């Protein structure tokens, strides 16, 4: 980059995570400076997080901090030492079902940790704070597609409740301290180097091991599967344009970010089987606690404001995932 004044410093929390890795790499490819922060917890295989980090560390503009968002001094130290212009908070304890068995982890990471990020942005002002919310906030809403105008005060999991809490906390901090804040409600992101706790990844492992896959609600579910490249393009566009003030003068905006096209779960599984070259043994089960029948994103706001237009079909996306999966696990 010829003009060094254009190089910005981005702090990406959850930097060793799936979305954090792809976003960091995209920013580094543009010549930006990226500070990754992650606690490398063992919620899923740490080796995959370390492999993502190994790739990122090859870029001269990358620096990694191993720290937990619940450690306020570590968070403040990162802001003090690196003075990020833009912060992307992707760190969170993920997973709807895990929140039923391990609620403490969600309060520590998603509530306390996010509070520390907000406090740091208050004391070390930034151009823009973008944070991850989730389609889970829509809970058992029956109206589809899900719109950011819908009421979301009936979460069906603690995970969803923490994400709605993040949105409320963010709005109050934006109002009080004029922090430009954008929340993104992600819809079922998938792709190579993804999260092993996600259904498609678990399916792939079991299919290749010849084990039966568990299919909930007897396969009658729809998901707004969104390929990672489409998600990253959307995030990058949002990062560079902080929200305008709303009717109350608050620099705050929430967007859905999804494919805007729900797929039948059984169709998705069929495409995955095709690209892995094996048919799955199937075990059909009732709906799980905390799960929802359908997710479907209304992304009109993101289309209007940024020209967002996901373009990756599940055929193309799962083909890329399957190719990576077989190479990575030597299947």
Averaged pLDDT, 266-276: 97
How many other CB atoms are found less than 10 A from the CB of residue 95?
Answer: 21
User: What is the distance in angstroms between the CA of the first residue and the CA of the last residue of the chain?
Assistant: 40
CA gap 10, 36 in Å, rounded: 8
Averaged pLDDT, 100-115: 93
Whether residue 160 contacts residue 136, with contact meaning beta carbons closer than 8 Å, is answered with yes
CA gap 187, 136 in Å, rounded: 8
Residues 6+ apart with CB under 8 A from 52: 16, 17, 18, 21, 193
Burial 240-257 (b: 16+ CB within 10 A, else e): eebbeeeeeebbbbbbbb
**Distance, C-alpha 70 to centroid of its chain:** 19
Question: Domain for residue 95, yes or no?
Answer: yes
Angle, alpha carbons 261-246-244 (nearest 5°): 80
Averaged pLDDT, 208-235: 95
Question: Domain for residue 266, yes or no?
Answer: no
Averaged pLDDT, 129-142: 92
Question: Domain for residue 61, yes or no?
Answer: yes
Averaged pLDDT, 141-157: 91
Averaged pLDDT, 152-171: 94
Q: What is the CATH number of the domain that holds 92?
A: 3.40.50.720
How many structural domains is the chain composed of? 1
Whether residue 235 contacts residue 23, with contact meaning beta carbons closer than 8 Å, is answered with yes
Round the average pLDDT of the chain to a whole number and report it.
94
Q: Which domain holds residue 164?
A: 7-188+226-259+296-311
Question: Domain for residue 247, yes or no?
Answer: yes
Whether pLDDT at 1 is above 60: no
Averaged pLDDT, 245-254: 96
Question: What is the pTM assigned to this prediction?
Answer: 0.94
Which position has the token pair 């059909």?
Answer: 284
DSSP state letter for 136: G
Whether pLDDT at 300 is above 80: yes
Averaged pLDDT, 54-83: 98
Whether pLDDT at 90 is above 90: yes
In three-state secondary structure terms, 132 is strand
Helices (H) and strands (E) in the chain, counts: 12, 13
Averaged pLDDT, 238-248: 95
- Across 9-23, 288-302, 316-330, least confident range: 288-302
Specify the pLDDT at position 291: 80
Of 10, 62, 159, 227, the catalytic one is: 159
Would you state the structure tokens that stand for residue 255, as one six-digit string?
């967007």
Question: Domain for residue 60, yes or no?
Answer: yes
Burial class (CB in 10 A: 0-12, 13-18, 19+), 314: buried
Whether pLDDT at 178 is above 70: yes
Specify the pLDDT at position 96: 73
Specify the pLDDT at position 331: 65
Question: Domain for residue 2, yes or no?
Answer: no
Averaged pLDDT, 283-304: 90
Question: Domain for residue 126, yes or no?
Answer: yes
Asked about 159 being catalytic, the answer comes back as: yes
Averaged pLDDT, 58-73: 97
Whether residue 204 contacts residue 325, with contact meaning beta carbons closer than 8 Å, is answered with yes
Question: Domain for residue 325, yes or no?
Answer: no
Specify the pLDDT at position 4: 43
Would you state the structure tokens that stand for residue 163, as one six-digit string?
């994400």
């Amino acid at each position: 980059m010829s003009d060094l004044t254009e190089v910005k410093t981005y702090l990406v929390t959850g930097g060793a995570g799936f979305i954090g890795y792809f976003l960091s790499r995209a920013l580094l490819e543009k010549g930006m400076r990226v500070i990754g922060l992650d606690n490398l917890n063992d919620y899923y295989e740490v080796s995959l997080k370390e492999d993502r980090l190994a790739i990122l560390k090859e870029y001269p503009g990358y620096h990694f901090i191993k720290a937990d968002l619940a450690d306020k001094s570590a968070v403040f130290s990162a802001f003090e030492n690196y003075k990020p212009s833009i912060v992307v908070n992707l760190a969170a304890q993920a997973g709807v079902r895990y929140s039923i068995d391990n609620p403490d982890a969600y309060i520590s990471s998603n509530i306390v940790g996010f509070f520390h990020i907000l406090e740091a942005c208050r004391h070390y002002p930034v151009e823009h704070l973008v944070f991850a919310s989730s389609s889970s906030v829509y809970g058992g809403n029956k109206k589809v597609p899900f719109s950011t105008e819908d009421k979301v005060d009936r979460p069906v999991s603690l995970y969803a409740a923490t994400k709605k809490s993040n949105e409320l906390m963010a709005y109050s901090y934006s109002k009080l301290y004029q922090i430009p804040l954008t929340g993104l409600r992600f819809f079922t992101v998938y792709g190579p180097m993804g999260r092993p706790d996600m259904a498609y990844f678990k399916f792939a492992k079991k299919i290749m091991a010849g084990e039966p896959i568990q299919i909930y609600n007897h396969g009658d579910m729809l998901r707004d599967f969104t390929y990672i490249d489409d998600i990253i393009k959307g995030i990058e566009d949002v990062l560079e344009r902080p929200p305008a003030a709303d009717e109350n003068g608050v620099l705050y905006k929430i967007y859905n970010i999804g494919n805007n096209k729900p797929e039948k779960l059984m169709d998705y599984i069929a495409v995955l089987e095709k690209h892995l070259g094996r048919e799955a043994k199937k075990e059909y089960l009732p709906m799980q606690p905390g799960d929802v029948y359908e997710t479907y994103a209304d992304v009109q706001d993101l289309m209007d404001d940024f020209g967002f237009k996901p373009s990756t079909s599940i055929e193309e996306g799962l083909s890329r995932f399957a190719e990576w999966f077989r190479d990575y696990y030597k299947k």
